[in-house]
Structure 1
Amino acid sequence: MSSVSAPKFYETKKFKDKVKYTFVTFVLIAGSMLILLPLWWMISTSLKSPAEIAQYPPTFFPKEFHFNNYIEAWQTAPFTRWALNTLFLASVGTIGSVLVNSLVAYGFAKIHFKGRNPLFILVLSTMLIPGFVTMVPQYILFSKLGWVNTYLPLLVPAFLGSAFFIFLLRQFMLGIPNELMEAAVLDGAGHLQIWWHIMLPLTKPALITVAIFSFNGAWNDLLGPLLYINDESMYTLQIGLQTFKGTVQTQWHYLMAMSVTVLLPVIFLFFFFQKYFIEGSNLSSGTKG
């Protein structure tokens, strides 16, 4: 009888899986390093002296750590005031975005009315309109309303809803059993009570996702404040960063130090709510009608 020879190790499924795992791991690590490289360069530059920044070839690690760059950069301009302005805009805009978008999403997910689906498609179609197309009409409208050099053009749009946030919250709400609504209706609850007492608590992961996106967008917004804010006392941090960019020379050590400072709140916010963010982004639960 002829014996069947055992396959060689490099032909086995175990070996192939190991090679595949090693390759995928290497690609992910390499990709992560490429993504983190600009962040590290920003941090490294923020700790260098102007002379070391200008030297060639550039140094990847600072020869001396100049932590005083952060203090000096903060003191060159009223950054405390600008930070409070930015925090106010981001906080109020986030609250408005969460409340309005969740209320509209509740209507599309749980209230049956004639033309609901076509109207929802119409709302989604607004995502196809580039923001630059509406920029000039918006400015003309806000200018005629006398809102230029106020925070209203930056806050009011947050209370008017976002197609993407409405879609995300609606998909999440579709996964909530209708029996909960029916039980609340039997107890005499109206739609606003159902939305506030049932939907909002059950959609907390999705709400946190919307809040993170909204806060991050408002915190990092440069174009909006640049268009509508003229008073220096009303500047935001993103406009404040431009003070380090001169017509002849840019103070890179101060600019990078303040850029790191501005970036830290967003990073901490994401890592603190990372669990809810991932759960809220997973819309596989939104499959029920």
Structure 2
Amino acid sequence: MTSTSTQVRSRRPDRGSGAEARARRGYRGFSSMSTREKVVRYLLLVLVLLITVGPFVWQLSTSFKGAGEDIYTQTPSLIPEDPTLANYVTAAKTVPILGFAWNSLVVAVISVMGNVVGATMAGYALTRLRFRGAKLILGAILASMLMPAEATLVAQYLTIRSMGLTDTLLGVALPGAIGMLNILLMRTAFLAIPKELDEAAIVDGANAWHRFLRIGLPNVKGMIAVVSVFAFIAAWDDFLWPLLVLTTPEKLTLTVGLEYLHGTFSANPRVIAAGTMIAFFPVAIFFGLLQRYFFRGVDAGAVKG
């Protein structure tokens, strides 16, 4: 008995030897890097930061600069000499920003609800339900993602017009109510759930709807947050489609309505920058509310088998 247990223990891999195995394979962590490698990595990170965050910081700084401050100097200053909110007040007085923001919020809410409900149910059906044509549908979803969005604008417009939804906020939100990428994201999240849970629920007499509500949804909360953020940003920042569908000025979304600032204050980039920041703040607030779930993603919601 003693010799048998000794043989079993000898076959088991030593969990504490993981670091030694990585060292033998040449693995080196960040702490073991040379000073030169660390400097190169930090320089690359700073370069990426300047490319991605730099324009936003410049717009934010410009929106607070006064009329007497030169923004075209050879040595630009990110810190305003005399910070003011006059540019925001001017932008709000020039266009009905609150009305445009409300229209954008309505469109974004419809889009988020449509994607959360529709993409979640579609992802669950493609993953957990067996039916004919599932692979064909999945292939059609992948094929639609390869096609540029501009190629389907005419077909979308003709569809919305035939439904009598032109010049309505519902007509703006409907094409983006279920995103193909969001369906694939939810499908990936449901794939991470062990099938044994569904099998045990079937033995207990649970139908597909019960399995979806009690097993599927609780385990994909992280991915639902990711889909919500993507849907909100896509609906809020969309410009071309609302421009084609909407004709009444009072129904314009914020991104389209702020275009008036480019014509009225084309020589004053401070006011234009203020309008850009006004359009950005709701996205930042929404992302801030869901950032904890967003960064967790599938890792926060999926059950580890």
Calculate the TM-score normalised by the size of structure 2.
0.81
Counterpart check, 1:191 vs 2:175: no
1:21-66 CA distance string (max 9 Å, x none)? 2210221022212322111110111112344356544632322112
What CA deviation, in whole Å up to 9, does each residue of 1:197-239 have, x standing for no partner? 3211210001100000000000111112111111111111101
Q: Residue 138 in 1 paired to residue 156 in 2?
A: yes
RMSD value, Cα: 2.6
1:254-265 alignment to 2 at 5 Å? 254-265=271-282
Which of 115, 118, 124 pairs up with 1:106? 124
Which amino acid is 1:178 matched to? K
Give 1:232's match in structure 2, choosing from 232, 249, 253. Answer: 249
CA distance in structure 1 between the partners assigned to 2:298 and 2:70 by the alignment: 40
Q: How does 1:244-259 map onto structure 2 within 5 Å?
A: 244-246=261-263, 249-259=266-276
When residues 150 and 272 of structure 1 are mapped into structure 2, their CA distance, relative to the original with a 3 A threshold, is closer
Q: Which residue of 2 aligns with 1:36?
A: 53
Q: What is the CA-CA distance between 1:259 and the residue it aligns to?
A: 0.9
- 2:237 equivalent in structure 1: 220
Is this contact kept in 1: 2:59–2:277, CA < 8 A? yes
Q: For residue 9 of structure 1, what is the aligned residue in structure 2?
A: none
Equivalent in the alignment of 2:260:
243
Change (3 A) 1:22 1:271: farther
> Map of 1:126-165 to 2, 5 A cutoff?
126-159=144-177, 161-165=178-182
CA deviations over 1:231-253 (Å, ceiling 9, x no partner): 11111110121111127844322
Taking the aligned partners of 2:73 and 2:261, their CA distance within structure 1 comes to 22
Is 1:86 aligned to residue 104 of structure 2? Answer: yes
Give the equivalent residue in structure 1 for 2:16: none
Going from structure 1 to structure 2, the CA distance change for 1:281 and 1:262 (only over 3 Å counts) comes to farther
> Is contact 1:46–1:253 with CA below 8 Å preserved after alignment?
yes
Contact 1:73/1:257 (8 A) holds in 2: yes
Measure the CA separation in 2 of the matches of 1:174 and 1:256: 44
Q: What's the % identity of the aligned pairs?
A: 28
Task: Report if the CA contact (8 A) 2:95-2:258 is conserved.
Answer: no
Which structure is higher in RCO with an 8 Å CA cutoff and minimum separation 6?
A: 1
Letter in 1 for 2:45: L
CA separation of 1:62/1:199 partners in 2, compared to 1, >3 Å: closer, same or farther? Answer: same
5 Å-filtered alignment, 1:7-46, equals: 17-46=34-63
Q: Deviations over 1:58-104 (max 9, x none)?
A: 63232211222222321222111111111111012101111101101
Moved more, 38-47 or 183-192: 183-192
Mind listing any 5+ residue stretches in structure 2 that lack a counterpart? 1-27
Name the stretch that deviates more: 93-102 or 122-131.
122-131
Structure 1 residues 282 and 29: alpha-carbon distance in aligned structure 2, compared to 1, 3 A threshold? farther
173, 177, 180: which one pairs with 2:194?
177
Report the counterpart of residue 7 of structure 1 in structure 2.
none
- Is the Cα contact below 8 Å between 2:194 and 2:303 reproduced in 1? no
In the alignment, what sits opposite 2:81?
Answer: 63
The count of aligned residue pairs is 274
1:15 positional shift? 7.8
Deviates further, 35-44 or 189-198? 189-198
Give the direction of change, closer, same or farther, for the CA distance of 1:33–1:248 in structure 2 (3 Å limit).
closer
TM-score by length of 1: 0.85
Q: CA deviation at 1:267?
A: 2.1
